[in-house]
Amino acid sequence: KTVYYYDVLDSTNNKARELPENSLVIAEEQIMGKGRLGRKWFSKKGGLYFSIALKPEMNLEDIPKLTLTSGVAVARALEEYQARLKWPNDVLINGKKVCGILSEIVGEIENFKVIVGIGINVENAVPDYATNLKNLNSEVNRAEILKDVIEQFTKYYKMLLSREWNKIRFEWLELSDTIGKFVEVKAGNRTYRGKAIDMDYDGGLIVETEEGTEKVFSGDCFYI
Ligand code: BTN
């Protein structure tokens, strides 16, 4: 509902923690941009860095679905670039990462908020394994991208809250870059290797390994 705009922040996810439900926080630059699994997210000027503070009427164990849903929303907003989804929630264009999503749960178990943080490479310089939108479209406009993402996010978030997760799940599968590929997923101290065959109703990745069919809920996923 309210948009908070900053030139510089440590992390838009951190700022969003203090703000009311449905706030949108944007920063031109982040000093301590956070990535998944404790990594740093490089956040130089020219990228799109924002977070949404939500108070979803959902069970805690369903929050991974919200992150997957956010991925679908971003991929839809970037449809003209043929964006695809890499489990759990990277957005790729031409096989390279263009967007990362970090959801954080804050507050008590009975009364929690979820911060969904989205970083999109637009005009910022990126390493070789990543790409930015400017490489693909010299006319790219950050305000327009943000508007499209928020529009899609609003649509899919409503769907999720109205128990249409399975519909979203099928869209995720349709946009998936991961299903059918051979993957190695590191989850805690376990490593799963095999063919990714499905993302199931719980949001877990189903991997056909030599030991049998395994379900992985989160982790670091590599293609092999
Ligand atoms: C990842 O792929 O590791 C997730 C990256 C998430 C980056 C975004 S940028 C806006 C928001 N604020 C942060 O500190 N992180 C997220």
177 three-class SS: coil
pLDDT given at position 47 = 98
219 three-class SS: coil
pLDDT given at position 1 = 76
Indicate if ligand 1 lies below 6 Å from the C-beta of 71: no
Pair 150, 217 in one domain: no
Indicate if ligand 1 lies below 6 Å from the C-beta of 194: no
Q: 159, 175, 191 — which closes off a domain?
A: 175
Q: What is the pLDDT along the chain (224 residues), one digit of tens a residue?
A: 799 999 999 999 999 999 999 999 999 999 999 999 999 999 999 999 999 999 999 999 999 999 999 999 999 999 999 999 999 989 999 999 999 999 999 999 889 999 999 999 999 999 999 999 999 998 999 999 999 999 999 999 999 999 999 999 999 999 999 999 999 999 999 999 999 999 999 999 999 999 999 999 999 999 99
Pair 194, 151 in one domain: no
Report the nearest atom of ligand 1 relative to the CA of 32: 14
pLDDT given at position 94 = 97
Indicate if ligand 1 lies below 6 Å from the C-beta of 30: yes
* DSSP calls for 16-30: HHTSPTT-EEEEEEE
Pair 115, 138 in one domain: yes
Q: What is the CATH number of the domain that holds 205?
A: 2.30.30.100
SS3 content of the chain, % helix, strand, coil (to 5): 30, 40, 35
pLDDT given at position 56 = 96
119: nearest Cα among 96, 90, 144: 90
For residue 111, how many other CB atoms are within 10 A of its CB? 7
Cβ contacts of residue 135 below 8 Å, gap of 6+? none
Burial class (CB in 10 A: 0-12, 13-18, 19+), 209: middle
Residue 39 CA to residue 11 CA, distance in Å, equals 13
In the beta sheet, which residues pair with residue 118? Answer: 50, 101
180: nearest Cα among 199, 153, 204: 199
Angle between helices 63-77 and 165-175 (to 10 degrees): 50
207 three-class SS: strand
186 neighbors 217 (Cβ within 8 angstroms): no
Pair 102, 191 in one domain: no
Report the nearest atom of ligand 1 relative to the CA of 39: 3
* ipTM, interface predicted TM-score of the complex: 0.99
Q: What is the CATH number of the domain that holds 162?
A: 3.30.930.10
Domain that residue 152 falls in: 3-175
Q: Which pTM was predicted?
A: 0.97
pLDDT given at position 121 = 98
Pair 171, 186 in one domain: no
Distance of CA 83 to the CA centre of its chain: 13
